[in-house]
Homo-oligomer: A and B are copies of this chain.
Amino acid sequence: MVVVAKLKAKAESQAAVESILKGLVAEVSQEEGTLVYTLHRSQTDPSVFLFYEQYKDMDALVAHSSTDHFKKAFAGLKDLLAEKPVIEMYDELDAI
């Protein structure tokens, strides 16, 4: 299963948000059921970050969301984001 998460930083907090998100990627690499976890920054709006995530199954996603590093990162982001993150769940249909 796939999650696409979009986060918009406050204009003055872009560097801080980027740092927290990069730190999160490093921690997530230890997670057994998280298959893909890629951080991006928008080319048109540098305050917009996007995660493209793939999990082995729903249990792996729940495990990811329950980790201390995930909770710590999102606690740290709370006052740095311009709006609530947009989290969308997808099923993969096909790929090259």
Chain A residues at the B interface, C-beta cutoff of 8 Å: 1-2, 4, 18, 21-22, 25-26, 28-29, 31, 34, 36-44, 49-50, 52, 88-96
Contacts and interface: CB of A to CB of B under 8 A. Distances in A.
Given A4-B4, A25-B95, 19 more contacts: A4-B52, A21-B93, A28-B96, A36-B96, A37-B96, A38-B92, A38-B94, A38-B95, A38-B96, A39-B93, A39-B94, A40-B90, A40-B91, A42-B88, A43-B91, A49-B93, A50-B88, A50-B90, A52-B52
A10 to B, nearest CB: 18
Contacts of A22: 93-94
B90 A41 contact: yes
